[in-house]
Structure 1
Amino acid sequence: MNSIHSCTPSPQSGIPAVILVGTHVDKIPEKYRQKVINTYFMKIRHLLKDKPTIVHLMCDIAIDNTLHDPKLKELKRNIFNLASQQPHWGEEKPARWLPLEQAIMTLKASGTKVVRVSLLDEINRSASVRIQDKDEMDLFLRYQHEIGSILYFNAEGLRDSIVLDPQFIIDALKSLITAEMFIRAIPVITSKWFEFKEDGKLAHQLIDAIWTKEKNPDFHDNKNHLLLLMEKLNLIARPKSYSEDRKEVKEEDYFLAPCMLRQATPTEIISPESDPDIGNTSVLCFVCTAKFLPTPVFHRLLGACLTYWPIAKQGSQNLIYCGCCVFDIDDVHQMTLHFRDYVIFTRVTGVGVINMHQSSEVCGKVKTFIFENLSRIIGNLGQSLQFELHIQCPRADPKSLEGLIAVSKLQRSEKVRCHSHAKSHILESKELLKFWFEDKEPSDAGSSSGAMATPPRSDTDRFMCIAYLLVDVGSRVLRQLLSHHTVTSTCTLDQYLAKHRNTINSLRRVFNQSQMDIMFPPNGDDTNLDDYDITLLSALFNNIVPTLSQQEKDMIKCLREERNKLYGHAKSCQINSSDFQTYCNDISSTLTTLSQQCGDTVFEAKILQEIHCTQVSAIPADPT
């Protein structure tokens, strides 16, 4: 049994499509064949009937694994139909990219796994039609990365080389995970293997031994680049720890692979006993709205946390387990992060901190870190997952999914009823929210304490939050995106517009006079990007920015349509709570993805923070 699936959502269904493929049909007696096939596929659907994953199944097909099976044509046709619905299918790209694209395909066919970017520069320079400059070369490589053709990151230590076959890095990790067969022949590293298998601790000595023994020499030859890529993708992480005097944090000389963790989490880690010297916050929950969260998402989040905070210890024992880890945030605060089904739970604990309300700044930083990294990880995986914030009832079993109360509900009401137990009871909203969403007076809303402003409680507040997301944040993202696609070290925005002046002049039905005056000020001043609104930006992207992908164009179109719908068709300046959540999810997903295409990680982090503040709180008092 195999599945063929797309990694990006189909425009028709809005979700990644899956084709189920049953093989070796020829092994079934012909008399019973069709009945067995029907029963088999229906059994799978029955197993998934109550799970959200069932909506991904587009079709199923059974083949007999021979080249003469007529069902193969049907399989090819289904794959083609699904592939042609993908966002990148049929989109235009510069013709001068084709020679280098063909060169990459030739290198792949020859079995080359990793190449230096300098080699591609040489190939490009020798082509009759070539990519113009370094910035366009970076854009070309990022485009190839986004469509899954290569692995390329414009980051320190990674920008000089590219992996031609993304499967290569998976094979490299797989060779480590499945290396047990080699270990008996190398007794000196047996203990290192058991550390890796049982605790996820990956030593350089073990990596060298396995990749040297592997038949594929490309692994060891490209060891440093592969390990940096695995770190970048949060497949492995170099953990941090405190020095013996706890005065400094140091990096360990080994890696941790979250996917290898097998030890079950002790009950007392997730369900701590009451202690007068230890304070605990309420449990903040990141709940996947699709009720399905791929385990690798949590593993990669754990990897991000491992590179940021030291693992807490109990004696000499690291408090890291399968699906759970405890981190030292500072000298007195710890954070427990664990995962179950489609929910990620986090709690902050203070040793000697009785009043955890005073730790709201620490909680705010933890919440923001998790939110930003979840958004980044999901974006890198090409997923369209959305999360809602909940807080778990203090009486609920922390190892269960019971007692999850939406933050939006808590922010609307002073008291809420929990129905998750044999006897329902009333909870004070303020007591649950105070650790993670501290209320401040308006004068304090923009302070440096990291506290959130007063959460939106009225339909009018919600309308203003959506308007802020669409107009303020949306326009800022599109301006940054335009600058990224047009401005280089040798070309200003004014020069770019002047170069396309004839094209713009020919599109008088697209650009009105006021827009022309913004682009080409009559007084001869430089154009001011801050004057560009969504309508003008959208028109520019559609007509004079050929490097923009079709997916980006579609997202910009959606932003403009949502803006028009909000202002042109709204019956009042009010949005109810359910519509607010829908708007927030859709617009936030679009803005998050577009901000990731702007080529500026600092800008991306600021946008993520603003989106997060708007979703769970009010409009930031000082968005800059």
Structure 2
Amino acid sequence: MTVIQDLFESHAGLKHLEFKPLIFVNAMNEADPEIQALRQRLMDRAKEHPRWGEHMPTAWVPLELHLAQQAEKGVNILTKEQIQKFNSQNESMVLTDKQLETFLKVQHSLGKLLYFDIANLRAFVIITPAYLVEVLRSIVTEKQFWPKGKQFQSIFQTMQKTGALSRDDIDFLWNQDIFKHILSYKDFIIEVLVHLDILVAERRVTEDLSTSLPEVSKFIVPSMITRPNNTKYLKKFCKTGTSILLSYKFTEKVIPPAFPYRFVASFVDMWGVKNYKNKKRMLFSDLAVVEVDDKHDVAVQVIENRVVVSLIHSDKKEHIVPSIATSVQECLTAAIHRISEFYSTLSADLFATDQRSDLHIVMPFEIEFGVHCRKASCFFPHDKIPTAAKWQCPEHKVYHDVSCLKLWFSEKMPREKCDTSCQGLGRLQIEQSPSNKHLRRLAASLEVNDCRELLIRLGLDAKILNDVQDKFAPSAFHENDFKYTAMLRWKGSATDSSFTTIQDALLETDRHLLCEVIRDVNVDDVLTEFNITEDQANKTPTNTTLQELSNHIGNSGIQLGVELGLQSAEIEGIQNDHSCKLLHQNKEILRVWSQTKFPKPTIKELIKALQRIGKKDCLREISF
């Protein structure tokens, strides 16, 4: 016992390890009494789960039974139409379309089935989750389990070296007798594997960037690559003079094995794998390098509990294009957020709760900036970057010029107006869809008539626009509430809601308006003006502070909520619960925001939001 304790003493999973008393199971003996002891222990732990004993709608029971019967017959996948047919047979307990969606999502969150409510996947449901393990085993497997035969060996050896897997290879693997059952749903299963980042589709670059998955003939399987980096690429190009570093440091000492695989897969999916000398693909078990353009490469490594990202310029780091640095950072951060959220079974639209904080996922990483220091890289929190250009590494006592590290967040560096060198949004950024904050800021920067004309040009139906305007006509609403809500309605109905579409529709309006929309605000002068120290600014405001502040917001509650990062559904819910009671709405908005887990709700972020909505002066009346 002591040996086991010592072995896992510094392991992040120690708190999840239970080995007293030890259970020895003879897997060759079905009647082994230790199996019953293990079963009982698992049941005891399952009952400790907060969801144990949670009531489920009785109307779900008939459909659950139908699905269970199908699973017992050996059926693994059903079409949604088949499930709807089973549902229609339940007479008085027939679920509506909306109730059926909720049923499928809840069953998915509980691990009873797999239902992905996204395009190309929502038409099918995997009713036996263990079936996906069987599918994975056909591709991701250890060498000792490789099937016999020259072609099989060639396929798996290629995957180990480069990760490459063709559609023909997949067909060959799935034509084995033990995997032929997959062929009936081949296209769907491939879509699922791509969605889960098991496969990365090598899409061809087309003029309209619209290559669909069925047209893809080549894939990459990052988790199968065992070949380590054997090039001198990093030593030659990833140096102090040519690169800037960013790290996602995991709060646990050990990164979950699936995390880096999924991250690398999503990373490779964004940009093409770089071909180095003699066209060697820079994709290894310990390094992945992609080519953003002919001047910029991005390298990703997993080093201990960090995912380290290096943005490398072919000449020198001072020539790194700011919009590329920012876009790379934002795309990768969004990817790692998505992966983190995927592993959470909590979903705000599935279960009602009074504790919103329970629904927020604590992201398991921190963003750091890095420098090349002595023989290794050293890191510090990104929000601790010094105002001066120099940073001293506390471990090696070496000073480093860190001015270029601000490029990671360059598009968010505060400036009143774009200078003459600004060419507008970068390519990667302009292809993104604006967030709710971006839409609010754009709406606030336009007059009502200008906003209406813009939305009409964007294709929003005039009747919808008029209905929204009528709804927000009362004085209880801010003028910008109508414009912002109309923008949301457009985004929700548009097939292409990218910044490109908006910029084209702005016509003669200043193209740099969109730059201002995504730019952060500098509140250093505000902090100085109101004698707020940096330590205070990084703390979460007290309830007393929020109570005082709620008296100064008036009808700007929606605007404040958006800038603080609340979701539209949350804001609408608060409005409905406290109809026409602005003070109550403002208190609730501030309370909900203060309970968020990520990002941390700080006084600085609150002040930024207040400055954005023109409420900065109320700080004179607030005590922090």
TM-score tier (shorter)? 0.5 to 0.7
- 174, 182, 191: which one aligns with 1:219: 182
Q: 1:62 aligns with which of 1, 19, 23?
A: 23
Indicate yes or no: 2:10 matched with 1:50: yes
> What RMSD, in angstroms, separates the aligned Cα atoms of the two structures?
4.3
| Contact residue 363 and residue 598 of structure 2 kept, 8 A | no
Could you say if the C-alpha distance between residues 171 and 622 of structure 1 is closer, same or farther in structure 2, counting changes exceeding 3 Å? farther
Residue 202 of structure 1 aligns to a residue in which SS? strand
Q: Which stretch shows the higher mean deviation, 358-367 or 181-190? A: 181-190
Deviation at 1:269, TM superposition (A): 3.0
Structure 1 residues 158-192: Cα deviation after superposition (integer angstroms, max 9, x where no partner): 11111112221222121223486897765456543
Equivalent runs, 1:508-547 vs 2, <5 Å? 515=578, 535=588
Kept in 1, the 8 Å contact 2:253–2:305? The answer is yes
Letter matched to residue 462 of structure 1: N
Q: 1:464 to 1:411 in 2, by over 3 A?
A: farther
Q: Hey, what does 1:27 align to over in structure 2?
A: none
Q: Which shows bigger deviation, 308-317 or 264-273? A: 264-273
CA–CA separation in structure 2 for the residues paired with 1:209 and 1:283? 42
Q: Aligned partner of 2:260: which letter?
A: F
1:77, 1:616 → 2: CA distance?
A: 50
Query: Does residue 443 of structure 1 match 2:416?
Result: yes
Q: How far apart are residue 206 of structure 1 and its match? A: 1.8
Q: 1:191 to 1:52 in 2, by over 3 A?
A: closer
In 2: Cα distance, 1:195 partner to 1:534 partner: 59
| Structure 1 pair 202–441 and aligned structure 2 pair: CA distance change class (3 A) | closer
Q: Summarize the alignment of residues 187-198 of structure 1 with structure 2, pairs less than 5 Å apart.
A: 187=150, 191-198=154-161
Partner of 1:299: 261
The one-letter code of the counterpart of 2:534 is S
Matched, 1:261 2:247: no
**CA distance 1:182–1:414, change in 2 (3 Å):** closer
- From 372, 376, 384, the equivalent of 2:334 is 372
Residue type matched to 2:324 in 1? V
Q: Tell me how far 1:49 sits from its aligned partner.
A: 1.3
Once the two structures are superposed, residues 246-284 of structure 1 have per-residue CA deviations (whole angstroms, 9 ceiling, x without a partner) of: 998978521111101111113633333489xx9633211
Q: Does 1:386 align with 2:364?
A: yes
Rounded to whole Å, the distance in 1 between the matches of 2:571 and 2:609 is 25
Structure 2 runs not aligned, ≥5 long = 345-360, 419-440, 442-512, 525-532, 550-556, 614-624
AA aligned opposite 1:427: H
Secondary structure at the counterpart of residue 50 of structure 1: coil
- Equivalent runs, 1:535-614 vs 2, <5 Å: 535=588, 586-588=597-599
How many angstroms apart in 2 are the aligned matches of 1:617 and 1:104? 52
Q: How far is 1:388 from its partner? A: 1.1
Alpha-carbon separation, structure 2, partners of 1:392 and 1:97: 52
Which letter does structure 1 place at the counterpart of 2:569? Answer: Q
**1:110/1:413 Cα in 2 relative to 1: closer, same or farther (>3 Å)?**
farther
2:382 pairs, out of 384, 407, 416, with: 407
3-state DSSP class of the match of 1:392?
strand
Task: Tell me what 2:455 maps to.
Answer: none
Q: In 1, are the aligned partners of 2:200 and 2:221 still within 8 Å (CA)?
A: yes
Within a 5 Å distance, the mapping from 1:324-403 to structure 2 comes to: 324-352=287-315, 355-356=318-319, 359-382=321-344, 385-397=363-375, 402-403=377-378
Q: Alpha carbons of 1:199 and 1:370: their partners in 2 closer, same or farther (altered >3 Å)?
A: same
Please report the TM-score for the alignment, with normalisation by the length of structure 1: 0.65
Deviations along 1:395-433, whole A, 9 cap, x unmatched? Answer: 2445xxx52222233257765421333xx2223453543
Per the alignment, in what secondary structure is the counterpart of residue 178 of structure 2?
A: coil
Contact 2:367/2:382 (<8 A) preserved: yes
- Over residues 332-361 of structure 1, what are the superposed CA-to-partner deviations in whole Å (9 max), with x where a residue is unaligned? 2211111122101111122346623x5221
What SS does the corresponding residue of 1:91 show, helix, strand or coil? coil
Q: Distance in 1 between matches of 2:37 and 2:394?
A: 50
- Distance in 2 (CA, whole Å) between partners of 1:482 and 1:372 is 23
CA distance in 2, matches of 1:153, 1:82: 28
**C-alpha distance in 2, partners of 1:481/1:242?**
39
Q: Secondary structure at the match of 2:255?
A: coil
Matched, 1:323 2:296: no
SS in 2 for 1:159: coil
Q: Is the 8 A contact 2:174 2:180 kept in 1?
A: yes
Q: Deviation digits for residues 414-472 of structure 1, max 9, x if unmatched?
A: 65421333xx2223453543444577444149864566544877244335799799972
Q: Which runs of 5+ in 1 are unaligned?
A: 1-37, 487-492, 498-510, 519-527, 538-558, 567-582, 590-610
- Of residues 220, 231, 235, the one that matches 2:194 is 231
- Structure 1 pair 267/49, CA: closer, same or farther in 2 (3 Å)? farther
SS in 2 for 1:305: helix
2:309, 2:519 → 1: CA distance? 18
Within a 5 Å distance, the mapping from 1:149-164 to structure 2 comes to: 149-164=112-127
Counterpart amino acid of 1:174?
R
TM-score (norm 2): 0.65
Task: Work out the CA distance in 2 between the residues paired with 1:182 and 1:50.
Answer: 33
Say if 1:354 and 1:121 are closer, same or farther in 2 by CA, change over 3 A: closer
1:616 to 1:236, Cα distance in 2 relative to 1, 3 A: farther
1:200 equivalenced with 2:163 (yes/no): yes
2 CA distance for matches of 1:531 and 1:151? 40
Judged with a 3 Å threshold, the aligned counterparts in structure 2 of structure 1 residues 281 and 273 are, in CA distance, closer, same or farther, namely closer
Q: Decide whether aligned partners of structure 1 residues 228 and 137 sit closer, same or farther in structure 2, where only a CA change above 3 A counts.
A: same
Alignment of 1:130 onto 2:90: no
In structure 2, the partner of 1:141 is: 104
Query: How many angstroms does 1:152 deviate by?
Result: 0.8
Structure 2 letter corresponding to 1:335: V
